[in-house]
Amino acid sequence: MQAFLDTFDIYLLEAVVNGILLGGVLALLALGLNLIFGVIDVTWICYAELVMIGMYGMYYMVQVFGLPYWAAAPIAILLVAALGAALHYIVIAPLLTAPPINQLLATGGVLFILQSFATVAFGIDFRNLGIRLPVLAIGDMHFSYSRLLAFVAALLGMLAIYFFMKRTYTGTAIRAVAQDRQIMSLMGVDTKRIYLITSALGGALAGLAACLLVLQYDVHPFVGLSFGPITFLICVLGGLGNFVGGFIAAFVFAQIISLGGLYSDLEWGYVLAFAFFIVMMFIRPAGLLARRS
Amino acid sequence: MNSRYAAWAVGLAALIALPFVYREPYHLHILVLILIWSFAYTSWSIMGRFGLVSLGHGGFMGVGAYVTALLWNHLDITPWIGIPLSMVAAGLLALVVAYPCFRFRITGHYFVLVTLALSGIVLQVITATRDYTGGSLGYTPNRAPSGRGLLALQFDDKTTWYLIALGVWVVGLLIWRWVDRSMSRYAMEAISEDEDAAAAAGVNVTAEKLKITLISALMTALAGALYCQYQMFISPDTVSGIAVSLQMVFAVIVGGLYVSLGPTIGAIITILLAEGLRIGFGTKAVGWDNLVYGVLLVVFIIFLPKGILGSVLDRLKPQPKPSGTK
Amino acid sequence: MLELRSVDAGYGTFQALFGINLDVRAGEAVGVIGPNGAGKTTLMRVISGLIRPTNGTISMEGRDVVATAAHRIVDLGIAHVPENRRLFPRLTVDDNLKMGAYMPGARAKYAERLEFVFDLFPRMRERRSQVAGTLSGGEQQMCAIGRALMSDPKLLLLDEPSAGLAPVVVQQVFELVKRIRSGGLTVLIVEQNVQQVLKVVDRAYLLEAGTIRASGTSEEMLSTDTIKQAYLGV
């Protein structure tokens, strides 16, 4: 009996730690989506599909062209950043004055485009980098280095965004636009440019997430569906545009998924997370942290 | 007004007569698909036109299809009972998700994202329960022994299916019209314009929204179940998930959201387009049809947000006086 | 310095300004007075580029304002303190001031301008890391004016600086305007508080229903019968 309890605790602890590690990447995704929503007032439904494209970018650079991982990662980040900027320029900018629902649906169209583009261009086979990072064993617990790396890199990415937003003129302007977009021209700020930069930043975050996820998961055209919905739930629970709320919600959801996955398939972890979300809507309808106005 | 009814009656009579004079199976097959999807799109637009943009309908459709098929295969429950049960299941799911949304004023972006997650989750559940549902490989209802097709709601001839689909489609349009005409429409319009004003005017906003959502979800589940019975094969991608939800929105936007026949026009255009692309690109080119779909969706939203039928009608209609409606 | 010639402007189909002619000379303080809805705020917005005139010309030191992109008008030396202050409520005082110095030219002088603003409003130095939304009304007005001054403007547009403030604070705000003036800055100020504003400006325009009804020096305006009756209640 005692032995049973010991192993049980070990697995539980392992799942908790893995949940925290997963939380880092989810928080990164939520940050990107929140950034774009907070500043431009648009939700990119196709956000996880940008990640998917980034993952394919990594796959091709590393596996097909033989680039080392560390060299491919910055290129992938830039690639997805450019994709984000293009998405804004081509699809969102013409719709800025349209009803918000139209902007949302247009990015839904882009989701279609990216998924089917990947199907057409890359096929439906599952691909991976073929990089197997070692596993860290602490006692009886096992943590893969790819998850640890992902967690640390995600935190560093978020920290970089934090300092960018706090320290630079452009970062301050991005925060300011989110609060009062009409008067930005009085400050000499070109809102269009800020939107474009924000979109590129959101893309870059998706690109970073892609570099980290591709170490852990196979890439296929529909891989975005595995973490897109959960990212949306995180953002809604944390309050759209609320960075801190998104951060906390990401870790809460990651725990639920990880612990849920402990007892059964990962998919059930998602289902559990959704059930939790519905319950939370009753308890805290204004979001995890009600937004200060 | 009478001439309009006459036109509808003549049109309907022609549609009923069609399979008895024209029997080309492939064309009838396309017509059945158009009618079933038109019904699904119509049920989406019942919600969508009031600003309740749901991307969860892929979920309702999946519940309709899978619950019906699972009950038949595992518990021998005839679809005649299974379909109503699946509709109840979808309705319950809709209520569970929609009630907190409406109660706590989760609207706009939030509502879209919550419903989007719903269809994502339904897809996950279907995949997770692969021991029962076949997962992403798809699922086939058991063939009924010969002579018991009626009990199993399985028919080999296209004419029967055509007539069933036609009937359901007409019912869908009647429901659309009923919602359009009924008192709740004014309430709903008040809601979609200004929730506070509607509430102040004594409209029970939450109840009205729930009613519409429930009707819409029940109809969508029925569409999913019929699709399953007709095709005798379902897979998570074809009846559930975000892609199916987006497909509905796409078709309705293409056809026109505020016109009763808009979703039907959307279904005709999208299905003919998909078939055309499928034949044009050949079976190897998986994904091309969706690629064109996506591009068209984006182009439509940017340039023709009222849809084809809506835009044409706008142009045909004499311009209302400046002080007029809207 | 600033010249408006037969300027028309409005929102959509609604026209708010009709053939406005207005001049502000360097070093002057000029007031625009008039009732609610006369188009005073629209006038300010059309000068700073928040809305564009449908007709007429605006020039700042000989340069065409209408042809300049809205976000470049600050570079012409025009700073606008908008109606209701419009601070960024969740940014700190520091960050609000930083936004005022966003243009490349102003960034170079950031430290110097910050000292200038803090000397002018010592209160802002104390509150620099406080979130702007939590400042009192008077402090918010200081912060808004400070933000505008960060760009080192030649012309300061003040839209209803006394609106919504307690009478004592209103006094302080007008004192501030006087001090800013004495620093050599040109000021164009829109006010409903006619009595107060006429004490600080050299000249004033009376704007009614989108047209200029009268203009003159402060003394002339004060002695005009219509103004006395309608705005001073004498």
Q: Output the DSSP codes for B33-56.
A: HHHHHHHHHHHHHHHHTTT---S-
DSSP letters, A214-260, are TTTS-B-TTTHHHHHHHHHHHHHHH-TT-HHHHHHHHHHHHHHHHHH
Query: What are φ and ψ of residue C16, in 5° steps?
Result: -110, -25
pLDDT band at residue A99 under the 50/70/90 scheme: confident
What per-residue confidence (pLDDT) applies to B285? Answer: 62
- Chain A contact set for B109 (CB, 8 A): 37, 43, 100, 104, 240
Burial label, A134 (beta-carbon count in 10 A; 0-12, 13-18, 19+)? exposed
**B218 within some domain:** yes
- Beta-carbon separation of A190 and C69 below 8 A: yes
Numbers of helices and strands, H then E, in chain A: 10, 2
Could you read off the pLDDT of A184-203 as tens digits, one per residue? 999 999 999 999 999 999 99
| pLDDT at residue B188 is higher than 70 | no
Average pLDDT over residues A250-270: 80
C29-33/C203-208 β-pairing: parallel
CA B159, B164, B170, B172 dihedral sign is negative
DSSP helix, strand, coil percent of chain A (3-state; round to 5): 75, 5, 20
CA distances from residue B115 to A37, B59, C141 in whole angstroms, order as listed: 18, 9, 44
What per-residue confidence (pLDDT) applies to B29? Answer: 86
| pLDDT at residue A264 is higher than 70 | no
Q: Which two tokens stand for residue B65?
A: 């299809």
Give the number of other Cβ atoms within 10 Å of residue C181's Cβ.
19
Burial label, A230 (beta-carbon count in 10 A; 0-12, 13-18, 19+)? buried
Task: Tell me if chain C has a CB within 8 Å of the CB of A156.
Answer: no
What per-residue confidence (pLDDT) applies to B322? Answer: 41
Could you read off the pLDDT of C193-211 as tens digits, one per residue? 888 888 889 999 999 889 9
Burial label, B95 (beta-carbon count in 10 A; 0-12, 13-18, 19+)? middle
CA C129, C131, C132, C135 dihedral sign is negative
Cα–Cα–Cα angle for B4, B5, B8, rounded to 5 degrees = 90
- Measure A232 CA to nearest chain B CA, in Å: 6
Would you tell me the crossing angle of helices C167-182 and C110-120 to the nearest 10 degrees?
A: 130
| pLDDT at residue C102 is higher than 90 | yes
ipTM above 0.95, yes or no: no
Report d(CA A70, CA A86) in Å as an integer: 25
The pLDDT mean for chain C works out to 90
pLDDT band at residue A216 under the 50/70/90 scheme: confident
Sheet of C186-191: strand order equals: C78-81, C155-159, C186-191, C29-33, C203-208, C211-217
| pLDDT at residue B179 is higher than 90 | no
> Which chains does B contact via 3+ CB–CB distances below 8 A?
A
- Provide, rounded to the nearest whole percent, the portion of chain B with pLDDT above 90: 16
- Find the length of chain B: 326
- Least confident range from A33-37, B267-271, C109-113: namely B267-271
**B128 within some domain:** yes
- Beta-carbon separation of A180 and C48 below 8 A: no
C155-159/C78-81 β-pairing: parallel
Q: Tokens 């290129």 appear where?
A: A75
For B66-112, give the secondary structure using H, E and C: HHHHHHHHHHCCCHHHHHHHHHHHHHHHHHHHHHHHHHCCCCHHHHH
The amino acid sitting at A271 is V
Could you read off the pLDDT of A238-248 as tens digits, one per residue? 887 788 888 99
Q: Which two tokens stand for residue B50?
A: 């009031």
Report d(CA A203, CA C208) in Å as an integer: 51
Report d(CA A104, CA A102) in Å as an integer: 5
- Least confident range from A47-61, B120-134, C154-168, C199-213: namely B120-134
pLDDT band at residue C129 under the 50/70/90 scheme: very high
**C112 within some domain:** no
**B131 within some domain:** yes
| pLDDT at residue C219 is higher than 90 | no
- Beta-carbon separation of A265 and B294 below 8 A: no
Return the residue in B289, B293, B301 with the most chain A beta carbons within 10 A, the one to mutate for interface testing: B301
Could you read off the pLDDT of A1-19 as tens digits, one per residue? 555 555 567 778 888 888 8
Residue A155 vs residue A292, higher pLDDT: A155
| pLDDT at residue A289 is higher than 70 | no
Total number of domains in chain B: 1
Q: Where are the domains of chain A?
A: 2-283
**Which residue on chain C is closest to A169 by alpha carbon?**
C102
| pLDDT at residue C191 is higher than 70 | yes
Average pLDDT over residues A250-261: 86
What per-residue confidence (pLDDT) applies to B190? Answer: 64
**C161 within some domain:** no
The pLDDT mean for chain B works out to 81
**Which residue on chain B is closest to A231 by alpha carbon?**
B117
- Measure A126 CA to nearest chain C CA, in Å: 46
Task: Tell me if chain C has a CB within 8 Å of the CB of A191.
Answer: yes
Q: Evaluate whether chains C and B are touching (3 or more beta carbon pairs less than 8 Å apart).
A: no
CATH no., domain A2-283: 1.10.3470
Report d(CA B142, CA B27) in Å as an integer: 26
- Beta-carbon separation of A188 and C74 below 8 A: yes
The pLDDT mean for chain A works out to 86
Q: Tokens 């600086």 appear where?
A: C161
Residue B43's domain comprises 22-239
- Least confident range from A18-27, B131-140, B216-225, C121-130: namely B131-140
Residue C216's domain comprises 1-72+188-234
Burial label, A51 (beta-carbon count in 10 A; 0-12, 13-18, 19+)? buried
Could you read off the pLDDT of A40-49 as tens digits, one per residue? 988 898 999 9
Report d(CA B299, CA B43) in Å as an integer: 24
Give the number of other Cβ atoms within 10 Å of residue C150's Cβ.
26
Q: Evaluate whether chains A and B are touching (3 or more beta carbon pairs less than 8 Å apart).
A: yes
- List the end-to-end C-alpha distance of chain A, in Å, as a whole number: 54
| pLDDT at residue B153 is higher than 60 | yes
Average pLDDT over residues B240-253: 84
Name the residue among C69, C71, C91 with its Cβ closest to that of A176.
C91
Count of alpha carbons within 13 angstroms of residue B40, beta-carbon side: 38
Total number of domains in chain C: 1
**Which residue on chain A is closest to B284 by alpha carbon?**
A120
Q: What is the CATH number of the domain that holds C37?
A: 3.40.50.300
- Which neighbouring-strand residues pair with B163? none
- Measure A167 CA to nearest chain C CA, in Å: 9
Return the residue in B53, B104, B121, B137 with the most chain A beta carbons within 10 A, the one to mutate for interface testing: B121
**Which residue on chain A is closest to C47 by alpha carbon?**
A186
What per-residue confidence (pLDDT) applies to B323? Answer: 39
- Beta-carbon separation of A115 and B250 below 8 A: no
Average pLDDT over residues A160-175: 93
